[in-house]
Amino acid sequence: MQYNRRSLFIKKIFIISLSSFLFYGGIAFAGVRCGNDIISIGDTKTTVVSKLRECGDILNKDTYTKEIKTQLNKKKGGEKITIQKRIDLWSIRIRERGGHYCYPLTFEDDILTEIGQWSRCD
């Protein structure tokens, strides 16, 4: 009886761990080490530029506007509006451990919202 409970407990832990890995595995990184700082989700563009002075540089910048259509008070057939968000896409290069690593960054209205998968860029 004790063996079956333990085995079931281990299976549950394994399934939860695997599910967490699969769910969070596709989500972008939460931060990038830059010298003694960390560039993280929620930083402003100004903050990121300040942190990059110590350990990296911006390789490329691109900007576009994203339009989001929504409806106010959907239950009562409210007014439809369009919200515009400024999206900035940056490619940065970080000098770390004797190499260079590139990261794509996405900003929405001046706030860092996504840090993409790194790649080596020596």
Give the tokens for residue 97: 């451990």
Give the pLDDT of residue 1: 46
Give the tokens for residue 20: 């967490």
Break the chain down into helix, strand, coil percent, rounded to 5. 30, 50, 20
Could you read off the pLDDT of 13-55 as tens digits, one per residue?
666 655 544 454 444 457 999 888 999 999 999 999 999 998 9
- Model-level pTM? 0.69
Q: Tokens 């929405």 label which residue?
A: 108
Could you read off the pLDDT of 51-103 as tens digits, one per residue?
999 899 999 999 999 988 887 776 666 788 888 999 999 999 999 888 999 99
Cross-strand partners of 31: 40
Give the pLDDT of residue 71: 77
Taking CA atoms, 91 is separated from 25, 33, 39, in Å, by: 21, 15, 13
Residue 41 near residue 113, CB atoms below 8 Å? yes
| Per-residue pLDDT band at 9 (split at 50, 70, 90) | low
Please say if the pLDDT value at position 105 is more than 90.
yes
At 16, the amino acid letter reads I
